[in-house]
Amino acid sequence: MTVARLPRHAVLVVSIAAALASGVLHAADQAQPAEPSQDAAAPAKPAAKKATELQAITVTAEKKAENLQVVPISISVISPEKLQAFGDSGDTVLMLAARAPSVYAETSYGREFPRFYIRGLGNSDYDLNASQPVSMVYDDIVQENPILKGFPLFDLNQVEVLRGPQGTLFGRNSPAGVIKFDSVRPSQETSGYASVSYGSKGTANVEAALGGSLGGNWSGRISVLGQHRDNWIDNAYTGKKDALGAYNDRAIRLQALYQASDDFSALINTHARWLQGTANVNYANAIEQGSDSLVPGFDRGVVAQNGRNAQHLFTWGSNLHLNWNFGDLSFTSISGFEHANTYSLGDVDGGYAPYNGTPADPGQAAGSQVPFDVETADGAGLKQLTQEFRLASRNWDTFNWQAGVYYFYEDLDIHDFGYDPTGNTETSLAAQHQVTNSYALFGSAEYKVTDDFSLRAGTRWSHDKKKYSTEWLYNTDPTQPIGVPLTANPDYSHWTGDLTATWAWTKDVNLYAKVSSGYRAPSLQGRSYVLTQAKAETIASEEVGIKTLALDGKLRFNADIYKYIMHNQQLTAVGGDSNLTRLLNAKKTDGHGVEFDAEAYVTPQFILTAGGSYNYTKLRDPGLSVQACGGGTICTILDPTNALGNADINGNGLPNAPKWVGTITARYGIPYGDSGEFFVYTDWNYRSKVDFFLYDSTEFNSKPLLTGGLRLGYDWDFGKREIALYGRNITNKKSITGAIDFDNRTAFVSDPRIIGIEFRTEL
């Protein structure tokens, strides 16, 4: 097996991190180990009886419960305590961006449409039919469509980030990796919590869960979430104060578990989400010409827009997990149904244009006038059905295996609305309809060759079939062909798999080497009656890694080095010369990098976690070009251009793919009384520069960003009660998080600093 040569500074990341951790833990060995500690996944809380080392972490990355340290996959685990801290200010699932090595996320849709990237691989497509190479799996059910991916994070057992192709057990559309969310399951023991917080901008969060016995062999759990923010952005065009920025986001999860014996269990899960509020807020001409900075005097609390803004989303779903144990075999059935309806309306250009020859009032907002108005809306209705059957061995001595079948069905309707410059009169309506059927057979096995050496292998056959059409239902432009559909029906089959060797060097050090493959099914786009297609993309990946426990269980350090080659990568040319997305394939994409996760029990009161990554990506397709920024007139293009004025993107890195990601958390507690503790907890997250589009320009990228959070509080009753002051984005950074390039230098901007107070209690 070969591994890509990395730049010297990238290879040093793991070595430096290990040296730092070793130095820190040397101090820990000198300290007197009192009783308190906890899982280092922070912010740790005192318990009635604390351990003196890191606790083992159980993951289900290979669809069975295993210790993180023996699973030969590059995995990060994000605990509920971390999620609590990251989500203090009501952030969405985007809170995971740069909170794990090689992970980034962004959106142009507000709270309902996150776009994730792992090892540089993702999709910046904003159409509601977009497919993504990062699969999101919630309680073992894939959330395929982007409007399902934003379900709020609450009452979770943990989040697992699986990096690299997951082509055997998860299959289609996971060539970059999988983010896996597992809810707290019901049990016979009564448990629960309630949390309420309030902060600046009217930011309020309410969370609660209660579970326990329902009588006999039944147990249940109900979990609820409510998030709110007031309008806080003024609209200088209309003169209205606090016109935009508000949201009301509510979610519920109901679970019932029937456990008659160890041989049979049935888990029913029903969940729903209601979102209403502001769609993404765009700021016209916010990026300075010839620079990657916001214009002087930029104020994210003020826009000047003549368009409307609204967003509504309702999703609900249910799934049923059935498990039978037959001696040394188990059989599992997982059935899932998801349904969603959404409507999102926004002022795309972010400003205003003169109308019917009447100039705009320059006093309304300097710099917000645009060449032409663009206001659009998208609505969608979605139904998704999944079914998995899986048969597996149960703890055989030297050979264990699992095999199964999988079915996926999706029915998606999308309506794209266009409006005149007043933003009030509908001028066009385009419809997209897609039905997807996918089937798969899969199997994996592990053979223990010796006590110290084992092999794992798996394979999957998948078949995808889509039936797609798009047409104009209405258009005031007489040249457009009303009622003439454009259609496509791709049909594709593919084999994927993996092979892994694991060597237990010592009882606390495991080494592994892995080769794996994955694919993304063919994609289609027909926004505004422009049909484009992308062939299936495939990836071959190689990875070597180490997983260690050291210093008497006080240090957990895991690291890996990887490289991949992707063929026919699906890319999306976003914007450029119009409010459209176009699909294309790049012949070849190279990537390589290094990643690490570390957790350290420094002293009984001092816990540290850290993670970091270096990711390099490069497109290799001579002649591949895209339209750039308003036809090349509103930005400084850094790529060569061809005779048509298009930018040549061969040799470019991928968009929204930071080379460097780093995250660190630290918690220090001061015991007080018999069961209490004052504590300070902080987290800091760094990502290097990101480019927004396939072409390179001076303006359309985001500078390196370092953001931090802080919690100061007191907990008592052995951690069951807590009150804390919190701050998110405590340095109040103004960061450009995305852009629109076809009309003007429109920017999306990070949220402001939020400061608040939170109280939490547990049963």
pLDDT, tens digit, for every residue of 735-752? 999 999 998 999 999 999
pLDDT for 696 equals: 97
Q: Which of 344, 360, 343 is nearest to 352 (CA)?
A: 360
Q: How does DSSP assign 28-91, residue by residue?
A: HHHS---S----TTSS----SS--SSPPP-EE-TTSS-EEGGG--SEEEEE-HHHHHHHTTT--
Q: Which of 758, 761, 739 is nearest to 748 (CA)?
A: 739
pLDDT for 365 equals: 57
pLDDT higher for 646 or 423?
646
Q: Which of 341, 151, 157 is nearest to 251 (CA)?
A: 151
Least confident of 368-377, 677-686, 748-757: 368-377
User: Which amino acid, 326?
Assistant: F
| pLDDT at residue 43 tops 50 | no
Q: How does DSSP assign 315-369, residue by residue?
A: EEEEEEEEEEEETTEEEEEEEEEEEEEEEEEEETTSSB--BTTBPP-TTS-TT-B
* Those residues with Cβ within 8 angstroms of residue 13's Cβ, 6 or more apart along the chain or in another chain: 594, 596, 612, 613, 614
b vs e for 344-354, b when ≥16 Cβ sit within 10 Å of the residue's Cβ? bbbbbbbbbbe
Angle at 511 between CA 13 and CA 506, to 5 degrees: 110
C-alpha–C-alpha distance, residues 154 and 84, integer Å: 8
Angle at 173 between CA 172 and CA 177, to 5 degrees: 110
Residue 15 sits at φ, ψ, to 5 deg, of -60, -45
Identify the band that residue 88 occupies on the pLDDT scale cut at 50, 70 and 90: confident
What is the pLDDT averaged over residues 608-624? 97
* Those residues with Cβ within 8 angstroms of residue 359's Cβ, 6 or more apart along the chain or in another chain: none
What is the pLDDT averaged over residues 497-513? 97
pLDDT higher for 541 or 3?
541
pLDDT for 355 equals: 62
Q: How many CA atoms lie within 13 A of 660 on its CB side?
A: 17
In terms of DSSP bridges, do strands 302-303 and 233-235 run parallel, antiparallel, or are they unpaired? parallel
User: What does the longest C-alpha to C-alpha distance in the chain come to?
Assistant: 82
In terms of DSSP bridges, do strands 134-138 and 453-475 run parallel, antiparallel, or are they unpaired? unpaired
What is the pLDDT averaged over residues 572-589? 91
Cα separations in angstroms, 610 against 100, 551, 557: 9, 17, 9
The three-class DSSP label of residue 94 is: helix
The three-class DSSP label of residue 5 is: coil
pLDDT higher for 643 or 268?
268
Structural contact between residues 13 and 663, judged by C-beta atoms closer than 8 angstroms: no
* Those residues with Cβ within 8 angstroms of residue 675's Cβ, 6 or more apart along the chain or in another chain: 46, 716, 717, 718
- 596, β-bridge pairs: 559, 612
Q: What is the mean pLDDT of the chain?
A: 91
What is the pLDDT averaged over residues 500-523? 97
pLDDT for 503 equals: 97
| pLDDT at residue 454 tops 90 | yes
| pLDDT at residue 665 tops 70 | yes
Structural contact between residues 756 and 728, judged by C-beta atoms closer than 8 angstroms: no
The three-class DSSP label of residue 458 is: strand
What is the pLDDT averaged over residues 432-446? 97
| pLDDT at residue 54 tops 60 | yes
Domains of the chain from N-terminus onward: 8-762 (2.40.170.20)
pLDDT digits 0-9 by tens, 324-354: 999 999 999 999 999 999 999 999 999 988 7
Locate 1 and state its tokens.
């097996």
Locate 686 and state its tokens.
């760094």
C-alpha–C-alpha distance, residues 720 and 19, integer Å: 36
Query: In what side-by-side order are the strands of the sheet with 134-138?
Result: 74-78, 156-163, 177-183, 134-138, 141-142
b vs e for 143-153, b when ≥16 Cβ sit within 10 Å of the residue's Cβ? bbbbbbbbbbb
Residue 17 sits at φ, ψ, to 5 deg, of -60, -40
C-alpha–C-alpha distance, residues 601 and 21, integer Å: 10
Locate 272 and state its tokens.
């729903």
pLDDT digits 0-9 by tens, 164-210: 999 999 999 999 999 999 999 999 999 999 999 999 999 999 999 99
